[in-house]
Amino acid sequence: MTSAIALVCDGCGQAASAEHVARRLKRLEWATRYRPVHIHTLFLGAFSPRDEKDFLYAPGGEFQGEAALLLAALGIATAGKMAEAVHAEFQRAGFFLTHILECPLEDDGSLQTALKNRLAAVATRIRRSLKPKRVMAVTAELALVLDDILAMDLGCRCFWITGSRSDCRAARERMALRGCERHSQALRRTKAHGQTRTGRREQRE
């Protein structure tokens, strides 16, 4: 008698039926379409939502649950916009969302164990492929493995925010201030460089 071979999903570590794999590939295609070339901030969730309406990159554009909370906290309006426009705005800001478990939680086992089992692979993906400037852990379930996440080598700094509107707004304001500071520094360097060139030109004359 031939025994069935249990397949394991490479995106979440759970048992993978044909339907499970098909759903994962569909979500992966949706997300990859709006992945920035250079990721400024990588938002990290615990597991992908089960309902497509809650999945940020779903093309339906209903933006409920996790997707709605994140977009609202970041100040990205969705009313009256096509899904593509919202996705493009998120992408232009250098934002990308991914999850430690890239599929909805299906097994009845321990969530903490499932997350821990995926951390090494996720860290490698972040460090070698995604290469963000910073990582923000944004779902409460990640508190189960927060110490492990903060201890990982991600190639960048990692922050934890609860996902609340006020917490995300504060993080967005800090990022905006850093952006203004970098812009001011670049402007000062440009002016200083221009003054130096002008001084040298005057000396030659």
Strands, sheet with 41-47, edge to edge from the N-terminal-most edge strand: 95-101, 41-47, 134-137, 157-160
Greater pLDDT, 163 or 104: 104
Which pLDDT score, from 0 to 100, does residue 94 have? 96
Q: What CA–CA distance (Å, rounded) separates 164 from 192? A: 42
The pLDDT value given to residue 204:
59
Burial 170-203 (b: 16+ CB within 10 A, else e): ebbeebeeeeeeeeeeeeeeeeeeeeeeeeeeee
Tell me, what's the pLDDT at 15? 86
Burial class (CB in 10 A: 0-12, 13-18, 19+), 61: middle
d(CA 163, CA 142): 11
Q: What is the average pLDDT across 92-104?
A: 95
The terminus-to-terminus CA distance of the chain in angstroms comes to 94
* CB 57, CB 30: distance < 8 Å: yes
> What are the two backbone dihedrals, phi and then psi, of residue 186, each rounded to the nearest 5 degrees?
-65, -40
Superfamily holding 18-163: Uracil-DNA glycosylase-like domain (3.40.470.10)
Model confidence pLDDT, tens digit, residues 161-184: 754 444 555 555 444 444 434 444
Q: How far apart are CA 89 and CA 6, in angstroms?
A: 40
What are the distances in angstroms from CA 88 to CA 27, 44, 169?
17, 19, 20
pTM over 0.85: no
Q: 15-73, pLDDT tens digit by residue?
A: 888 999 999 999 999 999 999 999 999 999 999 999 999 999 999 989 999 999 999 98
- Going by C-beta distance under 8 Å and a sequence separation of 6 or more, which residues neighbour residue 142? 44, 45, 46, 100, 115, 149, 160
Residue 194: pLDDT band with limits 50, 70, 90: low
Instruction: Report the DSSP beta bridge partners of residue 88.
Output: none
User: How much is the pLDDT for 190?
Assistant: 46
